[in-house]
Amino acid sequence: MMQAIDEDDASLVRGLTAAVEALQDEAVALLSALVREPSLLGQEAGAQKIMAGTFAGLGLEVDTFAIDEAALQGMPGWSPSLISYDGRLNVVGVHRPRAARGRSLILNGHIDVVPPGEAARWTTPPFEPVVREGRLYGRGAGDMKAGIVAYTMAFKALRSLGLAPAAPVYLQSVIEEECTGNGALACLQRGYRAEAAVIPEPFNQTLMTAQLGVMWMQVEVRGRAAHMIDRGQGTSAIDAAFSVAAHLRRLEAAWNEPAARHPRYAAHAHPVNFNLGRIEGGEWTSSVPESCAMHWRLGFYPGEDLAEVRGRVERCVAEAIATDPALAGCAATVRWAGFQAAGFEIDPGAAVLQVLGEAHRAVCGRDAAELACTCTTDARFFALYGDTPATCYGPEASSIHTVDESVSLASLREVTTVLALFMARWCGVEPIA
Ligand SMILES: [Zn+2]
């Protein structure tokens, strides 16, 4: 009997590998169509329309819904939004089995992409997908439209073998992963739960076992204005901002000290990163600047309380103003907007990681490495607030968040096969009616 099951499984692996191979052109076409839609913050509608149509084409029930900001505000994990939610939709493809025998599953991906930066620095325009030497180039190709394509084609590969998951499966395409995570939170608010969630973020086919917390902070520094004649009477807000920044850099260094680290990050070169991502200041070339705004992205460890982290950072800024002679007469106000995201870890022995790791081994013929991630992902919502064990497993991509972003199409094909096999083993399968 065991022999028969092993043979069935081996033929399933072969069948899915061939089915995914046969769907590769369609996968590249879907990925290209998605990259062509510049789904920047607030401009997600075109790409989401493609996903709604794709889910409908797979015979899934399509649940399209707006984000109810009033309902989300009271929920843990909410981050203050940056722009209005009018007309900005999440799309979920819902599979309901005829007989639910297996474990339910959420496959989630974010449709939003970060700005392309200077388009002129790209080898080819950021929103014109191009395949070169086995890689598809374009903003969002790796992060993470390829992941969305992978789980979509994984579901389709099962169908092409006449099979469907024998448990509820929810294919979620969400907005705002890159700034708040409120798109994924809205899926929780809508009631979506499962026995596991997998997000194919482009982490080079590793199994994610932890992710850092991330916060966005704005520090408004005020100096004292003066004409150039009286420069000694004024304090430049821009100079003052850099003095405040030096204090934040010391706090960052302290959090990276070996003794301060979370154990999952013990071997990492520099896990906690404070990024000064934007700075605006000054009014006139011949006037001493009165104000300067710094926009920071701060990392912190899993298990740390958000209010406590905010308190430590606010004390750092307040102490800088109170004690640093370079900041005499200056003031600073701290505001928190955008990400207020806790970190989390998942037990490497968790069933979802075991089954996913075995699927990776069966398809790729090697073990998947574990990843303690230094950024945040939407996985935190499922893990921390949705009672759903969550991880990330996705393709190899390069230059995400910078120019010439690309994804490996060979890796996309492997990930698609792994996700299809994982789905079959996690959910079980039933013949399509
Ligand atoms: Zn991403």
Choose one of 280, 314, 341: the last residue of a domain. 341
| Model confidence at 226: pLDDT above 90 | no
Categorize the per-residue pLDDT at 2 as very low, low, confident or very high, splitting at 50, 70 and 90.
Answer: very low
Same-domain check for residues 236 and 355? no
In this prediction, residue 225 carries a pLDDT of 64
Between the CA of 62 and the centroid of ligand 1 the distance, in Å, is 23
Domain range for 331 is 213-341
Same-domain check for residues 366 and 403? yes
Q: What is the CATH number of the domain that holds 317?
A: 3.30.70.360
Least confident of 2-11, 298-307, 377-386: 2-11
Between the CA of 201 and the centroid of ligand 1 the distance, in Å, is 5
Q: What is the CATH number of the domain that holds 414?
A: 3.40.630.10
Categorize the per-residue pLDDT at 8 as very low, low, confident or very high, splitting at 50, 70 and 90.
Answer: confident
In this prediction, residue 99 carries a pLDDT of 87
Quick one: which of 60, 297, 22, 23 has its CA closest to 173? 60
193, 128 Cβ separation under 8 angstroms = no
Same-domain check for residues 239 and 307? yes
Give the number of other CB atoms < 10 A from CB of residue 328. Answer: 12
In this prediction, residue 181 carries a pLDDT of 95
Categorize the per-residue pLDDT at 230 as very low, low, confident or very high, splitting at 50, 70 and 90.
Answer: low
In this prediction, residue 69 carries a pLDDT of 92
Same-domain check for residues 353 and 335? no
Same-domain check for residues 358 and 316? no
- Please give the share of the chain, as a percent, with pLDDT higher than 70: 97
User: Which strands sit side by side in the sheet containing 390-392, from one edge to the other?
Assistant: 61-66, 89-95, 169-174, 105-110, 197-199, 390-392
Average pLDDT for residues 49-57, to the nearest whole number?
98
Same-domain check for residues 132 and 259? no
Report the chain's mean pLDDT, rounded to a whole number: 95
323-382 tens-digit pLDDT: 999 999 999 999 998 889 999 999 999 999 999 999 999 999 999 999 999 999 999 999
Between the CA of 340 and the centroid of ligand 1 the distance, in Å, is 16
Total domains in the fold of the chain: 2
Same-domain check for residues 176 and 89? yes
In this prediction, residue 274 carries a pLDDT of 98
Distance CA 282, CA 303 (A): 39
In this prediction, residue 174 carries a pLDDT of 98
Between the CA of 289 and the centroid of ligand 1 the distance, in Å, is 37
Same-domain check for residues 18 and 61? yes
| Model confidence at 1: pLDDT above 50 | no
- Please give the share of the chain, as a percent, with pLDDT higher than 90: 89
Query: 401: which DSSP letter?
Result: T
Choose one of 341, 375, 405: the last residue of a domain. 341
Between the CA of 291 and the centroid of ligand 1 the distance, in Å, is 33
| Model confidence at 3: pLDDT above 60 | no
Between the CA of 400 and the centroid of ligand 1 the distance, in Å, is 9
| Model confidence at 396: pLDDT above 90 | yes
Instruction: Classify 358 as helix, strand or coil.
Output: helix
Gyration radius of the chain over CA positions:
24
Between the CA of 332 and the centroid of ligand 1 the distance, in Å, is 32
In this prediction, residue 66 carries a pLDDT of 93
Average pLDDT for residues 72-96, to the nearest whole number?
93
Beta-strand ranges (E) seen in 129-286 are 130-132, 135-137, 163-165, 169-174, 197-199, 207-211, 213-222, 274-281
